Amino acid sequence: MIKALFEEAINEGFQYYFIIATDASKSHLYTSTAGTSNLRSFSFRIHPINSIFTAEALAICQAIDDLSVLDGDLLILTDSFSVLQALKNISIKSPKVIFRLAHKILMRTKFNQKIALVWTPGHSSITCGSILVPPVGLGDVTFSAR
């Protein structure tokens, strides 16, 4: 039921948007970021000192740089509610990674490109079109395109 409502909302509200999904994971050995679209994907390990918050924000930054299309609006799916809240409540005390992400979004909007960030609950296996946002365990982040 929730999956159907989610897909209906995406199809109605963001019909012409290019969809990108991002995620991050952390274990005691690794911190990883990943993103996918129906065209390409990325997966990186970053230094394990980074928090899951930083990894999630960096995944969105990387997705804007590497996965977006220049001639279309973007819909970025993320399970990081904390990153979305930090963007919404940006202040002088915000983490540098939030300023970096806000700057990337601002640069795209200056060229009349809309970027919508949508929270998707983690571990929900919500599918949207050809993209599967999978549950992520500890260690490496993997995405599957369908």
Strand partners, 131: 128, 145
Q: Does 141 map to a domain?
A: no
Q: Would 139 be classed as within a structural domain?
A: no
Q: What is the CATH number of the domain that holds 97?
A: 3.30.420.10
Give tens-digit pLDDT for 123-137: 566 554 444 444 333
Domain holding 69, by residue range, is 1-132
Closest by alpha carbon to 19, among 122, 140, 145?
A: 145
Query: What's the domain count of the chain?
Result: 1
Place of tokens 């990894």: 55
Task: Report whether 121 contacts 78 (CB < 8 A).
Answer: no
CB 72 within 8 A of CB 18: yes
Quickly list H helices, 29-110. Answer: 52-66, 81-88, 96-110
Q: Is the pLDDT of residue 28 over 60?
A: yes
* pTM for the predicted model, two decimal places: 0.82
